[in-house]
Amino acid sequence: MNSRRDFLQKIAAATIAIPFASNNVLANKSPYYKPYDGPVLRVAIMGLGSYGTRVAEAMRDCKMAKLVGVVSGTPAKIKTWQSKYNIEEKNCYNYENFDSIKNNTDIDAVYVITPNGLHRDQVIRVAKAGKHAICEKPMAVNAEEGEEMIDACNKANVKLLVGYRMHFEAKTLDIIRMRKEGAFGKVLFFQGLSGFIIGDPTQWRLNRKLSGGGAMMDIGIYSINGSRYMIGEEPIWVTAQETKTNPQKFKEGIDETIQFQLGFPGGAVASCLSTYTLNNLDRFFLNGTEGFAEMQPSTGYGPIQARTNKGELTQPHITHQTVQMDEMAGIILQGKQPVVPVDGYEALKDLKIIDAIYAAVKTGKKIPLNL
């Protein structure tokens, strides 16, 4: 099955012409991997598919987060994960008995890695069980559902974090630092290209009920979110146009390609593309009066490649999900504040933009935003 996650992995490998050291080699040299003796976030993963597996593998190298539990509707997967990751039987759940996790003091947080259309109900169940919720992006299929998730977590006094791994990526953070310091002058333009050719027409990403939409609810969110953290402002309007060349594969409610434009209060504009019909689209470009930043690949699993008018960025690659989970542990256990937020309110802004993009496609009008 072709998917966004397959695409992100393949484009990164195809774009890089030189080999990079393994994570273990980098771990021996990176200050990130200094010995740690402190509290550890004990995590259960809900949804044991390809990305859940990627997160589990990355967590092997975490120092502040540990995989201790699983939630799955497939007994065979649970058995495999038990053996592979040394997970105790009492920390294994299915979707029928999951609510009893509230009595399990060995689990602090549940990472929901399931189809978009299931996020709302599952995160609310996590919150009601008294566990911190980590949810894959997009957080929900629309802003209304996102608000319900935030309210449930607030009511239960638990954290709601969303899997924005790029918010912790070293080259991304360096460009954000340079922009804040004025290295690019007044920012005027951002371009975000996010796309790949999707395969199996029967997969959940092309099922409206499970996905909530098409490419925009999958790969397109990277350009939406990227425009915000690269420019450093919240957009105030959006326009959008949809192109559909294969209505049999991309049925009603499943967008194939959307071009969208965002306007920002400082005068910058963003021009972005989200598509399921073109490969090799993983590029960010930021332009200002004094310089530029370019990333290609910009959101793949890495290594990210980036340069500015001052030259190449050379920070070493560390597996994104490893860094993400350790940083999220710091947020939950120590109250750490990330450079770019990863909480439910951050995710809600993206959902409001997605809602407005679909409204702009439908009406042909410029839709005002109030984030």
pLDDT at position 25: 41
Q: What are phi and psi of 28, to 5 degrees?
A: -75, -15
pLDDT per residue over 269-285, tens digit each? Answer: 999 999 999 999 999 99
The domains found in the chain, sorted by start residue, are 22-164 (3.40.50.720), 166-316+344-368 (3.30.360.10)
366 catalytic? Reply is no
Q: Does pLDDT of 7 surpass 90?
A: no
Q: Which residue, chain included where needed, has tokens 């609510």?
A: 99
Contact 197, 279 (CB under 8 A): yes
Cis peptide before 235 (omega within 30 of 0): no
Q: Does pLDDT of 181 surpass 90?
A: yes
pLDDT at position 18: 37
Catalytic residue among 85, 111, 131, 137: 137
Average the pLDDT over 344-369 and give the result.
98
**Cα 365 to Cα 62: distance, rounded to the nearest angstrom:** 47
Catalytic residue among 222, 229, 301, 358: 222
pLDDT per residue over 271-325, tens digit each? Answer: 999 999 999 999 999 999 999 999 999 999 999 999 999 999 999 999 999 999 9
131 catalytic? Reply is no
Query: DSSP per residue over 191-206, as a string?
Result: EEEEE-----TTSGGG
pLDDT per residue over 74-128, tens digit each? Answer: 999 999 999 999 999 999 999 999 999 999 999 999 999 999 999 999 999 999 9
pLDDT per residue over 124-141, tens digit each? Answer: 999 999 999 999 999 999
**Cα 63 to Cα 34: distance, rounded to the nearest angstrom:** 9
